[in-house]
Amino acid sequence: MIKKYWNIYKVFWRTSLARELEFRANFLAKIGINIIWIGFYVISVAILFNNTASIGTWTKGDVYILAAFFTFVEAIAYTIFVRNTQEIAEMIRNGNFDGILLRPVNTQFLASLRFVSFDELGTLIGSLAMFIYGLSQSHASINFRQILLALAFVGIGLIIFYCFAMTITIMVFWFIKLDNIRVLMTSTLQLVRFPADVLPTVIRRILVVVLPISFISTIPTQALLGRNIEPWAGVGVIISLSLFIGVKLFWDYALKAYSSASS
Amino acid sequence: MDTIINIKNLTKIYRTRKKLPGIGGALKGLFSRQYTETKAVDNISLTVEQGELVGFLGPNGAGKTTTLKMLSGILYPTNGDINVLGFNPTKRPIELRKQFALVMGNKQQLWWDLPARESFILLQALYEVPEEKFNSRLKEMAKLLDVEKLLDKQVRNLSLGERMKLELIAALLHDPKVIFLDEPTLGLDVVAQQKLREFIRHYNQQYKTTILLTSHYMEDIKALCKRVVIIDKGKIVYDGDINKLSSEQSETKTIKATFGQTIKPIALKKYGNIRSLSNQVFEIDIPKSKLQSRLSRLLKDFDVTDLTITETDIADVLRQLFTH
């Protein structure tokens, strides 16, 4: 079973890459543009820290690591599923979603993972560069356990991102057009650009257990640098995993509604 | 022989929102919505045996596509039972999805920017087709449809006819036991239509695959199907041998008469519906009940040198049926 899906997933990568390479100039331009965006961010952080040595307990190196985490999670999310969730909305609108329903594999797997987007390759390279630079500037001592914990939280962050993107997409089954809500999601996610502990406590807690986007940047950074991790993070992990199951149930429910309503 | 498709008392009712005209109507619609119900499929029953190639006919909006979509599990029926290959498509079991194919002439499944071969490889993975079988089937079908050279060309660079052939291969790669073909020849020229038709016939005979075909081109149906099911306003109005359709359902017979002299069409109007083939040869559709009397009058009034009586053409019979 897992082998079957793994084989299919490898073919998704293969076809997506073949398609990407059809448009070589576009591909290279996108990498360039992403690196420039990261460059802007790096410069603005550098200017900020020219005037002060730290913000709260965060030094310049720490902030670069934080930025590396959220650009990394965002880039991975765009690579593996964000574009698919937008595509699902489009397919529901034009009726091509029927074709997805016919394939003999899990429909959610196929619909949300079938295109791999290489648009964010530049961002990935940029986030890696920021990460290395941030580490070189940071005074924290890092051990293997901290790295593993940070990676586990990045995984949770990705699951949360997936749940958000899918929830909005699933609503399209009923409302057809929801572009504005998608904008709301993108703006909400901007919050992860700041270390959560500079925010008021109430908002901090909300970002761990209600809208658990702290898992996208703050918490992995705290884990990696051996700092105190956001309170309630354990609850947040359980909530995030439940959210994932919730999204699956919501999806199944939406498919039923789609099949009994659409023409 | 095995029954492949079994439909009992199938009904589908669509509920659509009523839109009131104008801005006032649109605003009203934001708060209170009114719905109308449309019966797309109305209590139909049907069985199809293994290896049959059944033509599904009907005007636009008759319920053909809705029925095919319910058979595929895309739509849930409002009422009634469906069984395809022993499964209930409404539950969309993966085992069933592996064994059938739905081809829609107006939808495409091939990746637009890639050569068809890439899409085929993706389908191979999705349907778990073993490498050897995949290669031999692809080779065979590509040869039959004469598209071997097109497999590695980007789909966006192909003509509609070429693309449709590749779409058909894509749908058949996994060796489905049942195929639903919804308007496969839509928009194709006569040569491409002919080629596709030949392929479908050959495929049905070779593999004993059960095929349900809808088409607006009577030529498709006449060339391929022994049995036709005619559906109108959601109801089955005829289910049987295509060759008996005219004799059983037509209200008219068609006579072809050659006259000794030039005739003005207007002079023949009172005998029935006329089509002039030349100014001496005419086809006339005469109601069956009045055939004898009108024919004897025609022979008395005119100098008829040749006369044949045939069944009215199927396309005309359908027109009679649907305009009732």
Q: Are residues B31 and B176 in the same domain?
A: yes
The DSSP letter of residue B115 is B
Residues 226-255 of A with CB under 8 A from B: none
Whether A26 has its CB under 8 Å from any CB of chain B: the answer is: no
pLDDT of residue B34: 77
Angle formed by the axes of helices A60-77 and A218-225, nearest 10°: 130
Residues of B with a Cβ under 8 Å from any A Cβ are 14-16, 40, 66, 69, 72-76, 90, 92, 94-95, 97-98, 102, 107, 109, 111, 113-114, 118-119, 121-122, 125-128, 154
Q: B105 and B213, same structural domain?
A: yes
Of A7, A99, A256, which is closest to B109 when you measure between CB atoms? A99
Whole-number Å distance between alpha carbons of A213 and B277: 77
Q: Report the half-sphere exposure of A72 (CA within 13 A, side-chain side).
A: 24
**A93: contact with B, CB 8 A cutoff:** no
B151 near B142, Cβ under 8 Å? yes
What is the spatial distance between Cα A19 and Cα A116, in angstroms, rounded to a whole number?
A: 10
Domain holding B29: CATH number?
3.40.50.300
Question: Residue B280's domain is classified under what CATH number?
Answer: 3.30.70
CA distance A141 to chain B (A): 46
CB of A7 within 8 Å of a chain B CB? The answer is yes
Return the structure tokens found at B57. Answer: 């006919």
Selected for mutation to probe chain A from B103, B126, B134, B174 (highest A CB count within 10 Å) is B126
Task: Give the bridge partners for B12, in sequence order.
Answer: B41
Look at B74 and A101 and tell me if their CB atoms are within 8 Å. yes
Residue B72: per-residue pLDDT: 93
Domain match, B170 and B314 both: no
Mean of the pLDDT values across residues A20-35?
88
Looking at residue B271, its pLDDT comes to 87
Task: Report how far residue A80's alpha carbon sits from residue A162's, in angstroms, rounded to the nearest whole number.
Answer: 10
- Name the H helices within chain A: 2-22, 24-51, 60-77, 83-94, 97-102, 107-113, 121-137, 144-175, 179-189, 201-209, 218-225, 233-261
CA distance B240 to chain A (A): 28
CB pairs under 8 A between A and B: 72
Residues B201 and B275 placed together within one structural domain of the fold: no
From the list A64, A8, A6, A62, the residue with the least C-alpha distance to A38 is A64
What is the per-residue pLDDT across A204-239, written as a single tens digit (0 to 9) for each? 898 888 888 899 999 999 999 998 888 888 888 999
Q: How long, in residues, is chain A?
A: 263
A100 token code pair: 């997805």
For A168-180, b where at least 16 C-beta lie within 10 A, e where not — what string?
A: bbbebbeeeebee
Chain A residues closer than 8 Å to B98 by CB: 104
| pLDDT at residue B1 in the model | 61
> How many C-beta neighbours within 10 Å does residue B300 have?
8
Is residue B183 domain-shared with residue B286, that is, in the same domain? no
CA distance A172 to A177: 6
CB contact under 8 A, B73 and A22: no
Instruction: Quote the pLDDT of residue A251.
Output: 95
Q: How far is A263 from chain B (nearest CA, A)?
A: 7
Min CA distance, B25 vs chain A (Å)? 19
Domain ranges, residue B279:
250-323
Query: A104 CB near a chain B CB, below 8 Å?
Result: yes
Secondary structure E strands in B215-263: 227-232, 235-241, 252-259
| Domains in chain A: boundaries | 2-261
> Where does the pLDDT of residue A261 fall: very low under 50, low under 70, confident under 90, or very high at 90 and above?
low
Instruction: Work out the minimum CA distance from A125 to partner chain B, whole angstroms.
Output: 27
Whether B218 and B272 share a structural domain: no
Instruction: Indicate if B95 and B207 belong to the same structural domain.
Output: yes
**Which amino acid belongs to residue B170?**
A
Q: Tell me, yes or no, whether B188 and B277 share the same domain.
A: no
Q: Is the reported ipTM for this assembly greater than 0.90?
A: no
pLDDT tens series, chain B, 324 aa: 689 999 999 999 987 777 777 777 777 777 777 788 888 999 999 999 999 999 998 888 888 989 999 999 999 999 999 999 999 999 899 999 999 999 987 788 888 899 999 999 999 999 999 999 999 999 999 999 999 999 999 999 999 889 999 999 999 999 999 999 998 888 888 888 898 999 999 999 999 999 999 988 888 888 899 999 999 889 998 999 988 888 888 888 898 999 988 888 888 888 888 888 888 899 999 988 888 899 899 888 888 999 998 888 877 888 877 776
Same domain for B99 and B179, yes or no, is: yes
> What is the rounded distance in angstroms from the CA atom of residue A80 to the CA atom of residue A59?
32
**Residue B273 neighbours by CB distance under 10 Å:** 15
Q: For chain A, what percent of residues have pLDDT higher than 70?
A: 97
A259/B74 Cβ within 8 A: yes
Last residue of a domain, which of B245, B264, B286? B245
Chain B residues touching A261 at Cβ < 8 A: 15
Q: For A261, list phi and psi in degrees, rounded to 5.
A: -110, -45
Is residue B234 within 8 A of residue B65, CB to CB? The reply is: no
If we measure between CA atoms, which residue out of A252, A257, B88 comes closest to residue B80? B88
Number of Cβ atoms within 10 Å of the Cβ of A41: 15
Nearest to A241 by CA among A209, A202, A193: A209
Residue A260 pLDDT class (50, 70, 90 cuts): low
Count each helix (H run) and each strand (E run) in chain B, helices first.
Answer: 11, 13
> So what's the pLDDT on residue B324?
67
Do B298 and B188 share a domain, yes or no?
no
DSSP at A78: I
Are B30 and B127 in the same domain?
yes
Q: Which of B245, B273, B296 is the last residue of a domain?
A: B245
My answer on whether B135 and B69 are in the same domain is: yes
Domain boundary at B245, B269, B297, which? Answer: B245
Element (H, E) at B24: helix B22-31
| Number of domains observed in the structure of chain B | 2
Examine the pLDDT at A21 and tell me if it is beyond 90: no
Helix (H) or strand (E) holding B305: strand B304-311
